[in-house]
Structure 1
C-alpha cells in the first residue's frame, strides 16, 4: 500500500503542476511565450484525477481501521471526523467545480477561464496542505508553509512541463525567459523559505534526522537542488546568450531536463512525506533508515547524534562528483541527449550523497 500511496502523491503533484502551468501560460500574452497547444482532454484528466489520487492516503487509513469497525463505518468516520477526510471532502467539491469549468469553457473566454481555473487549483492545493503532517503539528504555520511550498513548486514545474512538452516552436523565447526567470527565482526563494519553516515544525535536528527515512528523503531532495539550480542558470543565462547569437538554437530540451529534475524532487517528496516525521522522541533502533544502515551498522538509540570525519573515501567521492559535474556541463555544450544529461545529474547527486554518508560518524 505504501508504494501505491507514493505513486498517487507523485501523480497528484503532477496534476497540480499541469493545471497551474496551463492556466498561467494561457494568461500570458502570446508575444511573451512560444506558441503552445494544451489539449483540453489533458486538463480534464488532471482535474478528474485530483480527488482520486488525494483519496489514496485516506483509503490507507480506512483499510487500517476497517477490521475493527467495518468498511462502511470506517469510511463514514474518516470522511466526517478526521481532518484528512474533511479536507478531502473539500478537495472533491473543488475538483467537481473545476471539472465543470474546464468542460464548459469556451475558446473566447480564455482569460476568465484561466483566472477561475487558477483560483480553484490553488484552493485545491490549500486543501492538500490542510491535510498534511505539518498542519497536524502546527495548524496555522504548517498549513501556510505547506501551501506556499507546494504552490511555488507547482508553478515552477507546471510552466516548465507545459512549455517543454506542449510548445509548437521556440519563438519569443527571449521574451519568455524575461519573465519566467524572475518567476523561477521567486518560486525558488518561496520554496526555500517555506521549506525552512516546515523543517522547523517537522524536524528536531536536521542532520540527526538523516538516521531515519524522513531525514534521508529531505537530504536527497536538497541534493537534487544542486543540479536544479545549475539547469535553472543554464536556461536563464547561457541559453539566453546562445539564442541571441544563434536564432536556430533549440532550448526546449534543456527546459525538459530541468522539468525532469523537478519531477524527481516531487517523487522524493511524495516518498518521504509518507514517513513519520522525526519529531519528539523518535529515534529507536527500529526507526533507523535502511539506507543509513547500509553505511552505519552500529547501535543507534535516542542519545545517538551525527558527527563528521573526513577520510579517503570522502575525497574519492568528492572527485567523482566533480567528474560528473563536468560531464553535465559537457553534455550541454555537446548537445547530448537529455536522458544522458539527466543520468549524469542523478549520478552527480548519488556521488555527493555517498560522500556525505561515508563522512558521517555516529556518536
Structure 2
C-alpha cells in the first residue's frame, strides 16, 4: 500500500495533465502551435484511468479502518460520509460525461467545464481543505490547475506533436504563460505548505518523512527552472541559426515534471507534521536521516544549518551537475544526458544539505 498509493497519485497527475493539455490547446489557433495528434483512444483511456487511480487514496482510508468494522461497511462510510469519498463520486460522474463528450467530439467548452469540475473535486478532497475550507480548497485547486496546465501543454507539444512547425509562434505566448503558471504555483504552493509546516519549522520538519519529501520536491524545482529557461529563451537563439528540433528538450523538461509529481505523490500519503515533536514521538524520525546525522534525536527537535567542508563540496558538485545541463545543450548532446544530470543534481544537493545539518 505504501508503494501503490503514491503511484496512483503520480499517474493521476499525468492523466489530468494529458487531458487538460489537450483541451487547453483546442483554444489555441493552429498557426500558434505545432501540429498535434492525441488519439481518441488515449484520451478516453485517460478519463477511465482517472476514475481508477483517484480511488487510490480512498483505498488507503478503507485499508486503515476496514479491519475494525469490515471492508464493505467502511467503503460505504468513506464514499458517502468522507469528503474524499464524495469528491471521488463527483469525479466519477464528471468522468463519465467527459468520456462521452470526447467520444462524441462535443464542444471544447463542455470538455473544459467538466475537467474544471474534476479539478475542483480534487481540491475539495485535499488535506488543506479539511483544515481551512475556503483558503485550503482555493489554494490547492489553483496549485493543481496551474501545475497540470503547464505540464499538460508541455506533454502535448513534446510527445504528441508531429513536427516543430510554428514553434517560435508557440513560444511567444507559451513563455509568458509558463512564467505566470510558475508564479501561481510558487505562491499557491507556499500557501499549501504553510497549512502543514510554517517557515520556522521548515528545517525541523526534515527529520520526518514528510519534510524529507518536501525537501526533495523543492530541490527538484531548480533543474525544472533550468529546463524552462533553456526551452523558452536559449532555444529561440539557437533556432535562428539552425534547424534545431526543440521537442526532445521539452520532453526532458516534462520528465523533470514527472519527478516532481513523484515526490508530490509520496507527500500525499504521509502524515503532515502539524506538531513536529508530537509526530516524532508517535511515529519516529526518518531512519536514513538519523544515519546521515549520526546523532540521536533530541526533543524538542531543533535542526540548524551549519557549514561543513564535506557538505559544501557535495553541494558544489550539485552546482557543477546543474551547469553541465547548460553545457550539454550548447554541445547538442542528447537530452537524456541532461535528465541523468538532473537526477545527479538532486541527489548531490540533497546530500550536501543534509551534511550541513546539525542537531542542536
Shorter-chain TM range is over 0.9
Shift of 1:299: 2.6
CA distance in structure 1 between the aligned counterparts of 2:46 and 2:258, rounded to whole angstroms: 16
Higher alpha-carbon deviation: 194-203 or 320-329: 320-329
Shift of 1:318: 2.6
Q: Which of 269, 285, 290 is 2:287 aligned to?
A: 290
DSSP-derived class of the 2:3 partner? helix
Shift of 1:288: 1.1
Q: Which of 114, 118, 138 is 2:112 aligned to?
A: 118
Q: Which of 329, 332, 352 is 1:355 aligned to?
A: 352
2:46 counterpart of 1:51 = no
DSSP-derived class of the 2:358 partner? strand
Whether the 8 Å contact between 2:290 and 2:296 is mirrored in structure 1 is no
Q: Which runs of 5+ in 1 are unaligned?
A: none
Question: Which residue is 2:343 aligned to?
Answer: 346
Higher alpha-carbon deviation: 350-359 or 281-290: 281-290
CA distance in structure 2 between the aligned counterparts of 1:97 and 1:116, rounded to whole angstroms: 9
CA distance in structure 1 between the aligned counterparts of 2:288 and 2:264, rounded to whole angstroms: 16
| 1:242-274 residue CA offsets vs partner (Å, 9 max, x unmatched) | 11222x111111111110111110111001221
2:141 counterpart of 1:144 = no
Structure 1 residues 172, 90: CA separation in 2 closer, same or farther (over 3 Å shift)?
same
CA distance in structure 1 between the aligned counterparts of 2:283 and 2:298, rounded to whole angstroms: 9
Higher alpha-carbon deviation: 325-334 or 87-96: 325-334
Question: Which residue is 1:271 aligned to?
Answer: 266
Q: How many residues align?
A: 356
Question: Which residue is 2:255 aligned to?
Answer: 260
CA distance in structure 1 between the aligned counterparts of 2:154 and 2:206, rounded to whole angstroms: 31
Shift of 1:286: 3.6
DSSP-derived class of the 1:7 partner? helix
| 1:111-136 residue CA offsets vs partner (Å, 9 max, x unmatched) | xx222212211211111111111112
Structure 1 residues 316, 221: CA separation in 2 closer, same or farther (over 3 Å shift)?
same
CA distance in structure 2 between the aligned counterparts of 1:290 and 1:119, rounded to whole angstroms: 45
Shift of 1:62: 1.6
Question: Which residue is 1:328 aligned to?
Answer: 325
Higher alpha-carbon deviation: 286-295 or 177-186: 286-295
1:66-105 matches, within 5 Å, as 66-105=66-105
| 1:94-146 residue CA offsets vs partner (Å, 9 max, x unmatched) | 111111111111xxx6xxx2222122112111111111111121111111111
Whether the 8 Å contact between 2:252 and 2:335 is mirrored in structure 1 is yes
Whether the 8 Å contact between 2:224 and 2:257 is mirrored in structure 1 is yes
Shift of 1:301: 4.3
Shift of 1:200: 1.2
Question: Which residue is 1:32 aligned to?
Answer: 32
DSSP-derived class of the 1:279 partner? coil
DSSP-derived class of the 1:288 partner? coil
DSSP-derived class of the 1:27 partner? coil
CA distance in structure 1 between the aligned counterparts of 2:268 and 2:285, rounded to whole angstroms: 16
2:300 counterpart of 1:306 = no
Question: Which residue is 1:20 aligned to?
Answer: 20
Whether the 8 Å contact between 1:214 and 1:275 is mirrored in structure 2 is yes
| 1:195-234 residue CA offsets vs partner (Å, 9 max, x unmatched) | 1111111114211111111111111111111111111111
How large is the Cα RMSD of the aligned pairs? Answer: 1.4
**Runs of 4+ residues over 3 Å off in structure 1:** none
Structure 1 residues 290, 272: CA separation in 2 closer, same or farther (over 3 Å shift)?
farther
CA distance in structure 1 between the aligned counterparts of 2:286 and 2:108, rounded to whole angstroms: 44
Whether the 8 Å contact between 2:312 and 2:356 is mirrored in structure 1 is no
| 1:306-359 residue CA offsets vs partner (Å, 9 max, x unmatched) | 112111102211321232123212211122222211000110121111111000
Give TM-score scaled by structure 1 length: 0.95
1:205-244 matches, within 5 Å, as 205-244=201-240
CA distance in structure 1 between the aligned counterparts of 2:89 and 2:57, rounded to whole angstroms: 14
CA distance in structure 2 between the aligned counterparts of 1:180 and 1:291, rounded to whole angstroms: 41
DSSP-derived class of the 2:154 partner? helix
